[in-house]
């Protein structure tokens, strides 16, 4: 963009959108291959499921395509009923979204007055900040701990009477860290009078692969009146491209959130695939086991002096490289491996690496070791 264009945008854009950084997704494989002239590139940058979509979901999606001339069920009845039965909640407690990302934006619009604050911590998922900023709501990032976990004391200290939405990922993206059960209880107990707590469990099914590690579970909060739990079919179910997620909360909150939703936001194919994916327990179990073994390998084979692989209960790990992450990211690109540089997340010396299938993980680890030096 020329300087003229920038000046013009500043003239027409509302104040809260001027200078706002848009979310930078991981580099697509095709783009890397085009730009760097490499083939067979491997992307471990978007926390996707390397095992692909749940097979049952794929079959259901194919079948649903035949009815593509019809609008989807706007109420998502079949999927919400199945989710309700599985979770032990009334379907009126469930809202569907075009990915849980869409629901995050929707919750900010539905629940926050213009001066209400959205609170999280400095290394939380970037969409929390963006959802607040695009709606012109103040975003407050509490300090994190030295090991980049949510600092519960700092988070609670950041609460004010204007705090309206507290957004917490557990496991958190990009750190992979979790909030413990006791920590979540402290946070919920400290919520200011008007505030709601959103537990973002996009990676919750992965955390189940680490049963020995204490972590808060959204399942324990499904009936708490001021808590909403967000989940997605993008991660362990492998349906990121279809865009479907859901939120569980008090029916009154669900109704309010629904007021700002777009009709037909979840396609019929996505609904059918998600419904079938729920029964694909085999795929879920395999995906969780693969993630745990890949994280353990990363920790064992990449950690070393100056290099920390942070403990993660998800399908990715944050790596502190002890030096600028951008050249490391580029060196890995030249080897055909796409990771995620973390400068935009306030972690300029870190990269984030998603898990890959076992053979591909060999390649990822070899590239990391070569670029990061002997460990």
Ligand X SMILES: Cc1ncc(COP(=O)(O)O)c(C=O)c1O
Among 93, 101, 163, 354, binds ligand X (CB under 6 A): 101
The Cα–Cα gap between 184 and 221 comes to 10
Interaction between residue 125 and ligand X (CB under 6 A): yes
The Cα–Cα gap between 318 and 341 comes to 10
Piece of the chain touching ligand X by CB under 6 A; list 93-101, 130-138, 215-223, 265-273: 93-101
Among 120, 163, 175, 234, binds ligand X (CB under 6 A): 234
Token match 């060196």: residue? 331
User: Tell me, what DSSP letter sits at residue 307?
Assistant: B
**Distance in Å, CB of 6 to ligand X, minimum:** 29
Instruction: Work out the widest C-alpha separation in the chain, in whole angstroms.
Output: 58
Interaction between residue 245 and ligand X (CB under 6 A): yes
Name the nearest CA neighbour of 179 among 315, 38, 188, 101: 188
Both structure tokens of 87: 């979770």
Among 108, 166, 202, 309, binds ligand X (CB under 6 A): 202
Q: Which is nearer to ligand X, 221 or 372 (CB)?
A: 221
**Distance in Å, CB of 15 to ligand X, minimum:** 27
Interaction between residue 105 and ligand X (CB under 6 A): no
Interaction between residue 232 and ligand X (CB under 6 A): yes
Q: Which is nearer to ligand X, 234 or 267 (CB)?
A: 234
Interaction between residue 47 and ligand X (CB under 6 A): yes
Q: Which residue is nearest to ligand X (CB)?
A: 99
**Binding marks (x or -) toward ligand X, 253..282, rule CB under 6 A?**
------------------------------
Name the nearest CA neighbour of 142 among 167, 165, 120: 120
Q: How far is Cα of residue 217 from the mean position of the Cα atoms in its chain?
A: 16
Token match 């209960």: residue? 313
Both structure tokens of 350: 């870190």
Give the other-Cβ count within 10 Å of 190's Cβ.
Answer: 17
Interaction between residue 312 and ligand X (CB under 6 A): no
Do 246 and 231 form a contact (C-beta atoms < 8 A)?
Answer: yes
CA distances from 168 to 22, 142, 174, 284 (A): 21, 11, 12, 23
Interaction between residue 120 and ligand X (CB under 6 A): no
Interaction between residue 173 and ligand X (CB under 6 A): yes
Interaction between residue 240 and ligand X (CB under 6 A): yes
Contacts with ligand X by CB under 6 A lie at: 47, 99-101, 125, 169, 173, 200, 202, 232, 234, 240, 245
């Amino acid at each position: 963009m020329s300087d003229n264009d920038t000046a013009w945008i500043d003239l027409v854009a509302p104040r809260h959108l001027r200078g706002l950084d848009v979310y930078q997704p991981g580099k697509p494989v095709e783009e890397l291959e085009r730009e760097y002239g490499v083939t067979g590139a491997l992307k471990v940058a978007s926390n996707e499921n390397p095992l692909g979509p749940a097979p049952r979901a794929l079959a259901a999606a194919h079948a649903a395509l035949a009815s593509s001339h019809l609008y989807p069920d706007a109420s998502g009845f079949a999927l919400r009923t199945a989710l309700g039965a599985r979770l032990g909640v009334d379907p009126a407690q469930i809202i569907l979204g075009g990915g849980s990302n869409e629901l995050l934006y929707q919750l900010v619009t539905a629940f926050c007055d213009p001066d209400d604050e959205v609170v999280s911590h400095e290394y939380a998922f970037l969409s929390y900040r963006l959802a607040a900023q695009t709606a012109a709501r103040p975003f407050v990032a509490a300090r994190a701990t030295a090991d980049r976990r949510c600092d519960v004391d700092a988070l609670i200290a950041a609460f004010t009477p204007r705090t309206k939405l507290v957004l917490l990922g557990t496991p958190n993206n990009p750190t992979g860290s979790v909030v413990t059960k006791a920590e979540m209880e402290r946070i919920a107990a400290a919520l200011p009078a008007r505030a709601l707590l959103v537990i973002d469990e996009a990676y919750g099914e992965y955390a189940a692969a680490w049963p020995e590690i204490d972590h808060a579970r959204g399942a324990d909060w499904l009936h708490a009146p001021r808590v909403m739990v967000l989940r997605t079919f993008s991660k362990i179910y492998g349906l990121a491209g279809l865009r479907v997620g859901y939120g569980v909360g008090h029916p009154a909150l669900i109704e309010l959130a629904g007021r700002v939703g777009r009709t037909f936001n979840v396609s019929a194919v996505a609904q059918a695939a998600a419904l079938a994916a729920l029964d694909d327990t085999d795929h879920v179990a395999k995906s969780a086991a693969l993630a745990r073994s890949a994280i353990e390998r990363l920790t064992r084979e990449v950690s070393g002096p100056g290099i920390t692989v942070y403990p993660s209960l998800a399908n990715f790990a944050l790596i502190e490289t002890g030096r600028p992450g951008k050249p490391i990211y580029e060196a890995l690109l030249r080897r055909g491996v796409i990771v995620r540089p973390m400068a935009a997340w306030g972690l300029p010396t870190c990269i984030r690496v998603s898990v890959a299938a076992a053979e591909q993980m060999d390649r990822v680890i070899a590239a990391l070791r070569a670029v990061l030096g002997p460990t």
